[in-house]
Amino acid sequence: MSLSSSNITFAALLILLLLPKSYSSKTIESNSYSHRAIQSTVKGFPRPLLNLSAESFAKVVDSAFEKQLVPSFDPYSSGVNFLLASYLIPYVGLTGYVGASPKLQDPKSKRLVAGLLGVESGQDAVIRALLYEHAHKKVKPYGITVAEFTNRFSQLRNKLGNAGVKDEGLVVVESEGAEGLITGNVLAGDKYSVAFDRTPEEILRIVYGSGDEHKPGGFYPKGADGHIAKSHLPKA
């Protein structure tokens, strides 16, 4: 399996979808290198419609808590909220890269995905570490801890992915922690501390928010634009 513009697009668009308004142009430019690496390897780069509005994130958060939060969750209203919103995206891409790696045959594709996975893992680790510092802090005005938010988000992704437990929040029961000894969970991994993997279909179910790779929605209201994603959409 080699990477074409159609089957890499979805994974590529999961990289750094969230950039705070306070980022300088220099920061944005430096964070665009991953996209440039893909563009230099893959010719043609279709971009589907993305919905990164506050309303879109609020719907995901409401789904995670199985009720409507009042006021609606706004990812852009505070630093903690922004980090929580950031928690929703990069890890999904990370598991997608892990799942894709064994299927790649072209050396250039393998090198590209390995490099992207390394950067994506670092991004996820930074986000989780920053959130872990505030794990027991209550998010205003909900009175719910940061750890509970992450646990709810991870549970939702497991539910939507419909392929077992491949996601963990910042605080877990001791038996699910590293070597079954700790509850702190800065890095998510299986019982052998190896990263979880997801298929393209699992990822689509999650980012669509529908639990069904055939039903677009969520962050991709019209569906993703890659070959795999399009193969699951109704024919026009």
Q: Is 90 within the bounds of a domain?
A: yes
**Residues paired with residue 144 on neighbouring β-strands, in sequence order:** 139
Which of the pair, 185 or 15, is modelled with greater confidence?
A: 185
Q: Which amino acid is at 134?
A: H
Residue 56 within a domain: yes
pLDDT value at 139 more than 90: yes
Question: What confidence score (pLDDT) does residue 38 get?
Answer: 57
The predicted pLDDT at position 110 comes to: 87
Q: Is residue 15 scored above 50 in pLDDT?
A: no
The whole-angstrom separation of Cα 13 and Cα 35 is 8
At what angle are helices 146-161 and 107-132 packed, to 10 degrees?
Answer: 150
Across residues 119-133, what is the average pLDDT?
Answer: 92
Question: What are 189-214's pLDDT values in tens digits?
Answer: 888 888 999 999 999 999 999 999 99
Highest mean pLDDT range out of 58-67, 83-92, 112-121? 58-67
For all residues of the chain together, what is the average pLDDT? 81
Residue 173 has a pLDDT of 81
Total domains, the chain = 1
- Is a pLDDT exceeding 70 seen at residue 45? no
Q: Are 171 and 147 in contact (CB under 8 A)?
A: yes
In a domain, 236, yes or no: no
Q: Which two tokens stand for residue 95?
A: 């598991």
Q: Tell me which residue of 1, 5, 102 sits closest to 44, measured CA to CA.
A: 5
Distance of CA 94 to the CA centre of its chain: 7
Domain that holds residue 83: 5-231
Instruction: Read off the pTM.
Output: 0.81
pLDDT digits (tens, 9 = 90+) for 57-71: 999 999 999 999 999
- The answer to whether position 180 is within a domain reads yes
State how beta strands 144-145 and 138-139 pair.
antiparallel
Is position 121 within any domain?
yes
pLDDT at 40 over 70: no
Q: Is residue 224, in this structure, part of any structural domain at all? A: yes
